[in-house]
Structure 1
Amino acid sequence: MALPWALAALSLLPLLSARGPLCDHPRAAPITDAILQQLSGKWFLIGVVLRNPVLKEMNRELKALFFYLIPNLTKDNLQFRDYVTIGPTCIYSENPGRIQRQKGTLSRSVVSEEHFANLWLTKDPETFILLFSPEDDKNLGLAFYARKQEVTKEQRREFHEVLTCVGLQDEEILYMDGKKDLCRPLEKQQEEERKKENTES
């Protein structure tokens, strides 16, 4: 199942230079080992904006999403373990990805096609943003991730500032609902199985 940040062919270009006064946030910058270590681990999708009408329709039933991001610092690749609640179903998948350090982008392979997203670091290391197709207003997209399902007022405020910065509107946001997440039991089961395997090996 393609995640919101991997549903379209995403641009490798940096953010557009024409900005409003709120655009003092970091642009796409080289990705370091320290950044990858910061991104390693579990993340929750808090909110997503997808202007592409086909992608918006595909995500209409998306209720909750969290994933584990596992970087390999020496090979510049990633492993994603995704838990997605769509309608009444939990869907689990594992997907490979790559790191484009100098371009400041991450990519992942979905259905034999590689998709790219600009990494946009926020002021708070407990959140980050992925920006899609910044040069294409009709397909512009943005996804906001956090370490916890519930975010603080400050974290949410920065998310809204970035939305304004790139020309998106608050009313375009599709928010996730952690109360509708159906994947926690599967996550717990898999964690127990991994612990058992590590103990036996």
Structure 2
Amino acid sequence: MLASLTLLLGLPLALATGDEPHGCTPLLPVTLDKATIHGLLGQWFYITGASTYEPHLEEFKAVKYSTFSFSPGSHEDELRITESMRVNETCVVKNAKIQIFWHNSTLVHVDDQVASPAKLIQSDKDLLILKNFNDNFLSLSLSARTPNVSKEQLEEFKAHLYCLGFTEEDIFYASEKDACPLPEEKMDEGDAELKLG
């Protein structure tokens, strides 16, 4: 889940304290409104992420592939999220909720009573950059409407990570070769078990 949100809201990420280093482009959060939330609806593919928050870091290491989709919730302050991911060798499908806090433009992923707050960062409409904040820990993830992004888009995202103090060794990538079958597809013998959560 976190991978998707941190990955996604991407999947859950943390706010940096202080200014970005000189020469770095600041990460500008989006002010949430109904049009912005409508633009999030539909399917996303987790691409990459990095975190200093140990639970997110462990999830980034374990998640080999993740896709998720947002749909309207039961009221205007909520989104539903369905995540399909390969965690190590197991495919998992999970359903969770995203609470929308309009007053401070924060998205909070709620899963198993664990809340991960995140800010949506301004970017291309087909990219989803999420910055999670848990105390002083930092997480940043990139998801996209397609399983791949351009070299330029990836390099721009990595430049943000480097400016925040991450190194190449801190960055974890999803791999399309590890994609899970869709829930309605029959799994062949030898495939990882599909678990519904």
Read off the aligned partner of 2:122 and give its amino acid letter.
Answer: L
Could you tell me how far 1:87 is from its partner in structure 2?
2.1
User: Which structure 1 residue ranges, 5 or more long, are not aligned?
Assistant: 190-201
Aligned pairs for 1:75-94 within 5 A: 75-94=76-95
* Conservation of the 8 A alpha-carbon contact between 1:29 and 1:103: no
2:46 corresponds in structure 1 to: 45
Confirm or deny: 8 A CA contact 1:29 1:102 kept in the other structure: no
Aligned counterparts of 1:142 and 1:10: Cα–Cα separation in 2: 5
Larger Rg over CA atoms:
1
Q: Is the 2:67–2:85 Cα contact (8 Å) retained in structure 1?
A: yes
**Identity across aligned pairs (percent)?**
23
Whether contact under 8 Å (1:72, 1:78) holds in the other structure is yes
Does the CA-based 8 Å contact 1:22-1:164 persist in structure 2? no
Q: Shift in Å at residue 125 of structure 1? A: 1.0
Q: Give CA deviations for 1:116-143 in whole Å, capped at 9, x if unaligned.
A: 1111121x2110211122762xx31111
TM-score by length of 2: 0.79
Runs (4+) off by over 3 Å: 8-11, 14-17, 71-74
Residues 124-165 of structure 1: CA deviation (Å, up to 9, x unaligned): 2110211122762xx311111111111102211221222133
Contact kept? 1:68, 1:82, Cα under 8 Å: yes
Q: Distance in 2 between matches of 1:17 and 1:55?
A: 22
Aligned residue type for 2:126? E
1:186 aligned residue (183, 188, 197): 183
- The answer for the alignment partner of 2:142 in structure 1 is 144
Q: Which amino acid aligns with 1:142?
A: L
Structure with the higher fraction of residues in helix conformation: 1
Measured at CA, do residues 169 and 135 of structure 1 come closer, stay the same or move farther in structure 2, by a change above 3 Å? Answer: farther
Structure 2: distance between partners of 1:24 and 1:3 = 24
Query: Which 10-residue stretch deviates more, 113-122 or 66-75?
Result: 66-75
Gaps of 5+ in 2: 187-197
Question: CA, structure 1 residues 147+187, in 2 after alignment: closer, same or farther (shift >3 Å)?
Answer: farther
Q: How does 1:10-29 map to 2 (within 5 A)?
A: 16-20=17-21, 21-26=23-28, 28-29=29-30
Paired residue type of 1:118: K
